[in-house]
């Protein structure tokens, strides 16, 4: 319940003006539903007692007024309820996305994008749907049920007692079955998240799966997950239907009891025909209210499971924590690694005692086999993760002294796998920042010597790019990434070179843009091709997390005994 209260306080309470109006409408609707049948009861008794036509017409008009008012009240309340629910959960969805983006790589290694999408969108949508109906579907009907029992006591205490016993039995049933249903609902949500993650990963790798004959294995895996999903769906449905079936049985017994009691009391004039109708109507209204509550209790069970899963996600704290802040002198900054260790959780270290210093304005190329530690060094410079030992310094200050926003302004990383958004080229370059003018974009493209490439695009800055890069080649996607980095105007550039082969024309554009981006800046390049490092100032050769060789590029290439010279001779990196 603590998580429920926390979410309500943070996201729903700020909607208090709408909640006040909703509360007024709620009690107005309850009053209408309780009072409207009184006019029918009086009409029946009036007919039986020989009331005048004018009195009967007045009663009928009052009944029509109450009946007509109810849909108006419900319409306004429904709109406000939806508005409150979606406003609140949209804020929650935004906060969850921000929280996930702030979590470090260790978290994203354990949780796939599909799983996170299910939590951020699936769980929050479940909560939004519940909140949209909560006031009238749960609170309103629960209060109406209390009002019905009170009115039943006013009609006849024996009818009131009958409905009170029935309501008490229903509450016991609901509380008992909810304990069974919530874990089932949570297990179902987990199965849906697993299926979503599975489909996202497999569909993303569809070309590789087809090319390597992995379709049969994919369908075998999918059948297993579908089986789990079917079983958990069945278990959740059985748990929820069990409570509704017991409820319907109790309602039917209550109606029979009220009619039997009326038939027993009517001959002795202890009760009127109108009061019997009123008792039966209230029984039917109570049954409908409790069924609605039960239906929304299923939503409550799903919402409770969603809140629990959301709470589990928000409870995960990033291991990379923003520092107090440090303002270095702007311009190119030096980079220093002092006896840096890093491991991904296994026994083998990704980096073991790495030390080097790169002077401000100098460039360093990292060479080595896959798994040698090149990308790990790049990630430590960008502080995507923290070293487990030693110190990483930028501009003479420990990297952990910088606040994360400061560091993101100082250091920009260009990855080899460029993520393109399904948006225009303009929005892909600016990340939807309207403050970046087209003139500034043109200036950046000119500075990087990319104007001819830009002019070859069909719609210029309005050219729509496809997420995943389907509309551009790998080299053109690199040009977009380099322009993004240039617009950031960083002091330190970390470049993870694209490992895929580029066509000669695009490769020349990438090389020219890379050179201009690194000009006057401190740069670290994770190199996959030897041609890339020939223009860099320094070279570091890594193997199994250790620096085997580091020095000036010109000296190492001229030394036939150096590892770098050996790599050049062999033509491998």
Q: How many residues does the chain have?
A: 573
Q: Is 193 exposed, middle or buried (0-12, 13-18, 19+ CB in 10 A)?
A: buried
Global pTM reads 0.67
Q: What is the mean pLDDT of residues 32-40?
A: 86
Q: What is the model's pLDDT at position 169?
A: 77
Query: What percent of the chain has a predicted confidence (pLDDT) above 70?
Result: 93
- Please give the DSSP secondary-structure letter assigned to residue 536: S
Q: Tell me, yes or no, whether 363 and 233 share the same domain.
A: no
pLDDT given for residue 366 in this prediction? 93
* Domain co-membership, 129 together with 239: yes
122 shares a domain with 55: yes
For 102, residues 6+ apart whose C-beta sits below 8 A from its C-beta are 318
The mean predicted confidence, pLDDT, of the chain is 84
Query: Quick one: pLDDT at residue 443?
Result: 92
Look-up of token digits 């209230």: 282
Per-residue confidence band for 398, with pLDDT thresholds at 50, 70 and 90:
very high
Does residue 435 sit in helix, strand or coil?
A: coil
Q: Where are the alpha helices (H) located in 316-331, listed in sequence order? A: none
Q: Which of 260, 292, 287 is nearest to 276 (CA)?
A: 260
Q: What is the per-residue pLDDT across 411-431, written as a single tens digit (0 to 9) for each? A: 999 988 888 888 888 998 998
**213-264 tens-digit pLDDT:** 777 878 888 888 888 889 888 888 887 777 677 777 777 788 888 888 888 8
| Closest by Cα among 516, 417, 425 to 466 | 425
For residue 460, the surrounding DSSP H or E stretch is none
Partners of residue 398 on adjacent β-strands: 393
223-to-58, 67, 218, 220, 507 alpha-carbon distances in Å: 66, 53, 9, 5, 44
* Boundary (domain end) residue, out of 315, 350, 382: 315
- For 528-541, how does the pLDDT look when each residue is reduced to its tens digit (9 = 90+)? 878 778 889 999 99
- Which of 298, 315, 332 delimits the end of a domain? 315
Q: How confident is the model at residue 370 (pLDDT cuts 50, 70, 90)?
A: confident
Could you tell me which residues come within 8 angstroms of residue 18 by beta carbon, excluding any fewer than 6 positions away?
Answer: 80, 83, 84
Residues 144-148 have a mean pLDDT of: 89
Cβ contacts of 264 within 8 Å, gap of 6 or more: none
Instruction: Give 160-181 pLDDT, tens digit per residue.
Output: 888 888 778 777 776 777 677 7
CB-CB contact of 399 with 335 (8 Å): no
| pLDDT for 539 | 94
Residues 150 and 275 in one domain: yes
Tell me the per-residue pLDDT of 285-311, one tens digit each, with 9 for 90 and over.
887 787 777 767 767 777 888 888 888
Distance of alpha carbon 193 from alpha carbon 137, whole angstroms: 27
Q: Find the helix packing angle between 273-315 and 53-102, rounded to 10°.
A: 10
376 band by pLDDT with thresholds 50, 70 and 90: very high
Cα-only R_g, the chain: 35
Predicted confidence at residue 336, as pLDDT, reads: 95
Q: What is the pLDDT of residue 470?
A: 56
Residues 456 and 539 in one domain: yes
Residue 326 lies in a domain: no
137 shares its domain with 262: yes
Q: Is the pLDDT of residue 122 over 70?
A: yes
Shared domain check, 346 and 310:
no
Domain that holds residue 540: 342-570
CATH number of the domain to which 517 belongs: 3.40.50.300
Domain boundary among 297, 315, 333: 315
Verify that 371 and 273 share a domain, yes or no: no
Helix residue spans in 213-320 (DSSP H): 215-265, 273-315
CB 30, CB 74: distance < 8 Å: no
Residue with tokens 């087209």: 438
Q: What is the pLDDT of residue 331?
A: 66
């Amino acid at each position: 319940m603590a998580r429920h209260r926390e979410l309500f306080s943070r996201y729903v309470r700020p909607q208090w003006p709408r909640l006040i109006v909703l509360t007024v409408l709620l009690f107005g609707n309850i009053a209408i539903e309780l009072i409207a049948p009184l006019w029918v009861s009086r009409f029946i008794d009036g007919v039986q007692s020989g009331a005048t036509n004018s009195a009967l017409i007045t009663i009928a008009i009052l009944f029509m007024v109450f009946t007509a008012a109810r849909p108006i009240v419900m319409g306004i309340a429904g709109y406000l309820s939806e508005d409150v629910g979606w406003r609140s959960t949209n804020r929650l969805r935004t906060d969850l996305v921000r929280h996930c983006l702030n979590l470090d790589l260790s978290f994203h290694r354990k949780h796939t994008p599909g799983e996170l999408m299910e939590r951020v969108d699936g769980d929050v949508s479940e909560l939004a749907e519940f909140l949209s109906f909560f006031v009238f579907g749960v609170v309103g009907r629960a209060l109406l049920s209390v009002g019905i029992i009170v009115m039943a006591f006013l009609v006849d205490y024996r009818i009131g007692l009958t409905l009170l016993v029935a309501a008490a039995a229903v509450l016991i049933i609901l509380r008992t079955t909810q304990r069974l249903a919530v874990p089932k609902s949570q297990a179902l949500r987990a199965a849906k998240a697993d299926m979503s993650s599975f489909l996202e990963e497999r569909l993303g790798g569809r070309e590789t799966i087809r090319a390597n004959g992995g379709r049969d294995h994919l369908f075998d895996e999918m059948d297993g997950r579908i089986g789990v999903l079917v079983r958990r769906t069945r278990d959740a449905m059985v748990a929820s239907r069990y409570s509704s079936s017991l409820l319907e049985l109790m309602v039917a017994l209550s109606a029979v009891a009220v009619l039997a009691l009326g038939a027993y009391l009517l001959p002795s004039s202890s009760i009127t025909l109108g009061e019997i109708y009123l008792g039966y109507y209230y029984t039917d209204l109570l049954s409908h209210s409790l069924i609605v509550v039960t239906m929304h209790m299923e939503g409550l069970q799903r919402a409770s499971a969603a809140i629990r899963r959301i709470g589990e996600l928000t409870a995960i704290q990033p291991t990379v924590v923003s520092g107090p802040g440090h303002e270095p002198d702007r311009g190119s900054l030096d980079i220093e690694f002092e006896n840096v260790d890093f491991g991904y959780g296994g026994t083998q270290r990704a980096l073991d005692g790495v030390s080097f210093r790169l002077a401000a304005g100098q460039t360093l190329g990292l060479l080595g086999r896959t798994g040698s530690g090149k990308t790990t060094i790049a990630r430590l410079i960008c502080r995507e993760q923290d070293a487990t030992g030693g110190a990483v310094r930028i501009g003479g200050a420990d990297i952990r002294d910088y606040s994360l926003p400061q560091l993101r302004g100082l250091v920009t990383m260009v990855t080899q796998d460029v993520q393109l958004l399904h948006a225009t080229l303009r929005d892909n370059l600016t990340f939807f920042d309207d403050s970046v003018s087209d003139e500034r974009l043109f200036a950046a493209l000119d500075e990087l010597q990319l104007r001819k490439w830009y002019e070859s695009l069909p719609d210029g800055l309005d050219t729509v790019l496809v997420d995943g890069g389907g509309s551009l080649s790998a080299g053109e996607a690199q040009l977009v990434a380099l322009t993004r980095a240039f617009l950031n105007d960083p002091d330190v550039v970390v470049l993870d070179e694209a490992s895929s082969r580029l066509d000669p024309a695009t490769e020349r554009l990438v090389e020219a843009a890379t050179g201009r981006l690194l000009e006057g800046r401190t740069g670290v390049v994770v190199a996959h091709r030897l041609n890339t490092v020939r223009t860099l100032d320094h070279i570091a050769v890594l193997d199994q997390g250790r620096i085997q060789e580091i020095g000036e590029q010109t000296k190492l290439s001229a030394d036939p005994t150096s590892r770098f010279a050996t790599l050049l001779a062999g033509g491998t990196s």
